[in-house]
Structure 1
Amino acid sequence: MGQGQTKSPQVILMGLDNSGKTTFLARLLTGQVMDTSPTIGFNVGSFNVDKRTSLTIWDIGGQKNMIPNWRYYLDDSKALVFMVDSSDPSRMREAQKALRKVLSDERLRGVPLMVLANKADQPNAMTIQEISKQLGMSNYPHLQWQIQACSALQGVGLRQAFLSVAKLIKKR
């Protein structure tokens, strides 16, 4: 990189398998819904939030055997985006444990968190308040966090979420 160029801030996108991370990233980068398969390792892409702000988003696989490897992706992250499937209450406890584990890492101290409640378009989707309670967000008073509903499939709430992430990063 030449002088004067800045690297776009790194945003980590994590969550349990089947929460919609890869669909979300593909929709954000291409505007299209694509067939995805479970992510082994990671996907990465850069996204222009507005004319002046670009973010590099790392979509990390969320299968059980991948979760212990999440810690390898935390260096230099400027924001954590944690995605949950808001239509699957049976996995909220597991999501809460995974989130607690990743937030306990020293490298995330002071890093803002955006919780994305994906699949909000489903008839059985939980509310933001229910998700906040299920994830135990009140246990993180020191953390700068927000929860937003979205639908990767419908393309709803994606841009707004990342505008908020960019604002959280600037505030930091």
Structure 2
Amino acid sequence: MAALVVVGLAAGGCSDGSDGGPRKADATSSASAAPAEVVTAASVGQLAGKLPQARRAQLVGEVQQVVDGWIDAAYLSGDYPRTDFAGSWPGFTAPAQAKAERDGDLMSNRDIGASIDGVEPQKRQLKLDVLSVRKRPVGVTARVVLRFATTGDTVKDVRVAGRLYLTKGKQGWQVFGYDVTKVAR
């Protein structure tokens, strides 16, 4: 199992294909567009190695802060319509941020930002697959699902899903790679 987590952490690529899973019907959301109304459901998924329960909870909080920062900056926050998505990748390493900027239509709402009036979050889910050595987390694959609806000239139900690969450095947990899909219907 540790080998699978390491392989997943090392993959660090990106794609814009489908995740292959069945798409469930969208749930009804509230009328407000405030991102804080839909809280991220976050938990530890797979664990390779040993990690005390208290440290697991701390890890979830630390990684969730990074992932939520990206979700909010790239998709949910800000005044729409907008075309400026600079700064949409807080918590990403410099190389991962540069790649995400090139993949801006996928890794943010750059593709639809000018034609929408707002977003209504519907689902935020995060599962962490953790590699732990000597009871210390050394690598995390964050499996992310985000669903939101847009309002304005472009009305769509959008699903962003995939994996963010994180490692801990001097600035804390940072995204160094990703494999994400974005589907708008």
Which structure dedicates a bigger proportion of its chain to strand? 2
**Structure of greater Rg:** 2
TM-score, structure 1 length as denominator? 0.27
Tell me the TM-score normalized by structure 2. Answer: 0.25
Larger RCO: 1 or 2 (CA < 8 Å, sep 6+): 2
Which structure's residues are more often helix, by fraction?
Answer: 1
